[in-house]
């Protein structure tokens, strides 16, 4: 086969799409091979026990993940099937981003960054573990990729169905996913506005902003209804104990923002006040000012993990009467913990040596060689050399910069509405920022998994910005 023939084949968009698919499949296979059945911590172990019927369902973690895990185990007979699903979701999103860039007219090498994005150190770091945060990010990313196709490809309406299902799953996995969802809903409304303009011409032309706002509310409402309906169906099929996880947030706010004298004088059971006061001393001795349930309070009423706190109603009353009634000191405390989250990180990589939680629930630990290949890549190379890659402040800064670049490109006219990635850059960057700052009132720790969605979203936004610039350069060279 001649060189010109080979080059001709490679110039074919379909052949290049197949090459992108091959790269994605090979990488995903290697990754699954090395890390199957996925790594777990105490939280994931509890969800696994729920999935196999060894522990009762609770709402400490939304039960949708355990239900999906149970269905996959019933279907395949393999606990690692959830890990395969997690990798496949991100792989599908990465591939679609690459194909979209390839079909946009950008230089071919930029389209390769779609599949490559899932092999970056920050993407790999959390993909090894069955965090609900990772699955949420995977679901959000694939949903956005599908919505992009509905904007760029005529008559791609059917893709709205899996996109909505993925958004419902994401919100079911983490309630604070709603912060990331709001910009995505606005983008979804933007995608709908074009096809609907013919049927709603009068409304859309006379009040385009109100039309966009109305469609955004509609998308949020559909996802919210789907999430509530999913919870109702789950609770109708299995018994779900309500453990009141939100009481952890109340506990932190009361313990670390209310002075001891005011706590003692508050109208609450003496046992509760004594417990909070003594636990606070223990936490402060450890240098901890958050996550008191795990760090110093002794967990819930039984002392076992995930057991509900005693006096939940009284604790809520303390929060209402002693915390939010003093907004300055509440903001001071929340600023302190948010600063710790925003400028630092932990658990950037879950090592196989930390397999005690897996052993306790009888979960297989997987290939021991995986750490020898990937731990140096994530920790010794990326984390040690470029630690900012695992910090929320970095991804927030890049997101803000991309928003500025997208706005400037939009004001200049970009490359035309059909070929501009400004909407996608905007939604991904805004979603990342909303998600990060949405943690201000609730952040419990500085684990990198809480920054996984912003890191993925901003990475893809940056790749799309490169594609946008590439398209512009190609068009500028045209006679």
pLDDT of residue 353: 85
Q: How remote is the C-alpha of 8 from its chain's centroid?
A: 40
* Structure confidence at residue 413 as a pLDDT band (50, 70, 90): low
Lowest mean pLDDT among 8-12, 135-139, 230-234: 8-12
Q: What is the pLDDT of residue 11?
A: 65
Q: Would you state the pLDDT for residue 387? A: 97
> 317-354, pLDDT tens digit by residue?
999 999 999 999 999 999 999 999 999 999 999 998 88
pLDDT tier at 362, thresholds 50, 70, 90: very high
Q: Is the pLDDT of residue 199 over 50?
A: no
Nearest to 45 by CA among 90, 74, 82, 75: 82
Q: What is the mean pLDDT of residues 141-163?
A: 95
pLDDT above 70 covers what percent of the chain?
Answer: 92
Task: From residue 284, give the alpha-carbon distance in Å to each of 142, 290, 294, 300, 326.
Answer: 42, 10, 14, 20, 22
Query: CB of 433 within 8 A of CB of 404?
Result: no
DSSP assignments along 369-429, one per residue = THHHHHHIIIIIIIIHH-GGGG-HHHHHHHHHHHHHHHHHHHHHTTT-TTT--HHHHHHHH
Decide if pLDDT at 474 tops 80. Answer: no
Per-residue pLDDT, averaged over 61-67, amounts to 94
Transcribe 340-374 into DSSP letters.
HHHH--B-SS--TT--HHHHHTT-----TTHHHHH
Q: Give the per-residue pLDDT at 417.
A: 46
Q: Given pLDDT bands bounded at 50, 70 and 90, which one contains residue 479?
A: low
Q: What is the mean pLDDT of residues 399-407?
A: 96
Asked if 193 and 204 count as a contact pair (C-beta separation under 8 A), the reply is yes
Question: Is 201 or 212 the better-scoring residue by pLDDT?
Answer: 212
Q: Please compute the mean of the pLDDT values over residues 312-317 and round it to a whole number.
A: 97
Q: 68-116 pLDDT, tens per residue? A: 999 999 999 999 999 999 999 999 999 999 999 999 989 999 999 999 9
Q: Which residues contact 106 (CB under 8 A, 6 or more apart)?
A: 466, 467, 468, 470, 471, 474
What is the residue extent of each domain of the chain?
247-343
Q: Could you identify the residue written with the tokens 């979701």?
A: 89
Closest CA to 187 of 140, 229, 234, 227: 140
pLDDT of residue 209: 60
Instruction: Tell me how far the alpha carbon of residue 157 is from its chain's centroid.
Output: 25
In this prediction, residue 355 carries a pLDDT of 81
Q: Is the pLDDT assigned to residue 456 strictly greater than 80? A: yes
Q: Is the peptide bond before 37 cis (omega within 30 degrees of 0)?
A: yes
pLDDT at 195 (0 to 100): 55
Rounded to a whole number of angstroms, the distance between the first and last alpha carbons of the chain is 33
What pLDDT is attached to residue 39?
96
User: In this model, does residue 478 exceed pLDDT 80?
Assistant: no
105-115 b/e (C-beta count within 10 Å ≥ 16 → b): ebbbebbbbbb
* Per-residue confidence (pLDDT) for residue 203, from 0 to 100: 40
Whether the per-residue pLDDT at 313 is higher than 90: the answer is yes
User: Among 18-27, 216-225, 342-351, 470-479, whose mean pLDDT is lowest?
Assistant: 470-479
pLDDT at 196: 53
CB contact set of 395 (below 8 Å; sequence gap of 6+): 432, 436, 451, 454, 455, 458
Residue range 366-381, pLDDT digits in tens: 888 999 999 999 999 9
- The whole-angstrom separation of Cα 89 and Cα 165 is 13
Q: Please check the confidence at residue 265 and state whether its pLDDT lies above 60.
A: yes
Q: Give the model's confidence band at 419: pLDDT under 50 very low, under 70 low, under 90 confident, else very high.
A: low
- Examine the pLDDT at 141 and tell me if it is beyond 80: yes
Whether 58 has a pLDDT exceeding 90, the answer reads yes
pLDDT of res. 409? 83
**Average pLDDT for 218-227:** 95
SS3 280: helix
């Amino acid at each position: 086969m001649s060189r010109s023939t080979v080059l001709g084949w490679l110039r074919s968009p379909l052949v290049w799409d197949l090459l992108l698919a091959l790269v994605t499949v090979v990488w995903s296979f290697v990754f699954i091979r090395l890390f199957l059945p996925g790594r777990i911590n105490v939280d994931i172990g509890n969800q696994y026990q729920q999935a196999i019927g060894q522990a009762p369902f609770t709402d400490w973690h939304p039960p949708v993940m355990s239900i999906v895990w149970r269905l996959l185990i019933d279907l395949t007979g393999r606990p690692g099937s959830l890990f395969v699903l997690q990798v496949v979701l991100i792989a599908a999103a990465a591939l679609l981003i690459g194909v979209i860039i390839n079909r946009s007219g950008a230089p071919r090498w930029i389209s390769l960054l779609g599949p490559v994005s899932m092999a970056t150190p920050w993407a790999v770091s959390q993909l090894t573990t069955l965090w609900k945060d990772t699955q949420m990010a995977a679901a959000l990313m694939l949903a956005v990729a599908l919505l992009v196709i509905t904007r760029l490809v005529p008559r791609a309406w059917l893709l709205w169905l899996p996109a909505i299902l993925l958004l419902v799953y994401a919100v079911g996995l983490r309630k604070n996913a709603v912060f990331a969802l709001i910009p995505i809903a606005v983008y979804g409304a933007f995608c709908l506005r074009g096809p609907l303009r013919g049927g709603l011409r009068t409304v859309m032309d006379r009040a385009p902003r109100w039309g966009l706002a109305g469609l955004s509310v509609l998308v949020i409402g559909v996802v919210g209804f789907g999430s509530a309906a999913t919870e109702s169906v789950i609770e109708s099929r299995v018994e779900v104990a309500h453990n009141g996880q939100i009481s952890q947030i109340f506990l932190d706010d009361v313990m670390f923002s209310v002075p001891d004298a005011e706590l003692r004088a508050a109208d609450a059971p003496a046992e509760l006040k004594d417990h909070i006061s003594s636990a606070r001393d223990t936490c402060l001795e450890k240098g901890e000012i958050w996550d008191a349930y795990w760090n110093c309070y002794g967990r819930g009423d039984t002392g076992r993990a995930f057991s509900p706190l005693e006096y939940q109603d009284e604790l809520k009353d303390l929060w209402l009467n002693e915390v939010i009634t003093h907004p300055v000191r509440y903001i001071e405390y929340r600023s302190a913990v948010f600063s710790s989250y925003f400028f630092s990180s932990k658990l950037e990589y879950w090592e196989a040596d930390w397999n005690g939680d897996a052993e306790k629930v009888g979960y297989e630990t997987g290939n021991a060689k995986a750490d020898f290949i990937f731990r140096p890549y994530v920790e010794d190379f990326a984390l040690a050399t470029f630690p900012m890659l695992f910090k929320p402040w970095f991804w927030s800064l890049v997101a803000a910069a991309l928003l500025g670049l997208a706005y400037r490109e939009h004001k200049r006219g970009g490359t035309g509405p059909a070929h501009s990635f400004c909407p996608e850059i905007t939604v991904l960057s805004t979603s990342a920022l909303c998600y990060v700052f949405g943690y201000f009132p609730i952040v419990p720790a500085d684990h990198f998994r809480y920054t996984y969605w912003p890191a993925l979203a901003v990475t893809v936004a940056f790749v799309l910005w490169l594609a946008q610039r590439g398209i512009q350069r190609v068009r500028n060279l045209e006679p």
